[in-house]
Structure 1
Amino acid sequence: MGNYTITILPGDGIGPEVTEQAQHVLEAIATRFHHTFTFHKALVGVAAIQAEGDAISDATMELVQQSDAILFGAVGGLPQDMTHSQV
């Protein structure tokens, strides 16, 4: 039926667990209703700060702008070694 690109932004805290399960649900929907979902994952939040130095990179922004949908987990908190004044 439809072909859709979905960018998954797991984020922090429980976000990765929630988005993983949500992806399983979307895969079941795709099978049942004959859709094709292409999934891409990117970093956001503290995970992105630690890996890329920014809460959301230009590359991630470009990816989400090219997607049909975004599956967003959760963000919040600071890396354990960072204070509010460093953000």
Structure 2
Amino acid sequence: MKEVPLSEIKDDLSRFLREAETQEIIITRHGKPAGILIGFESEEDWFDYRLENDPRFLRRIEQARDSLRAGRGVPLEDLETE
């Protein structure tokens, strides 16, 4: 993770977007964290990020886990393959 002042980000956003493809960049204002710049190397990375941060998706995952913990579900070996 890298910290960069907002003034530098504004001066060369394209460069920092490229850098953000490989590491998150903390944007600081007056020396204090103010935001984060996250880049995506591919459209798939963008899709993954959206899923990982979608509250509806996260809620569905938690419901599925709760269901499995409660003994509801189908064991993998019982699934038929087509």
TM exceeding 0.5: no
Name the structure where strand makes up a greater proportion of residues: 1
- Greater RCO structure (CA 8 Å; 6+ sep): 1
Which TM bucket (shorter chain)? under 0.3
Name the structure where helix makes up a greater proportion of residues: 2
Between structure 1 and structure 2, the one with the greater Rg is 2
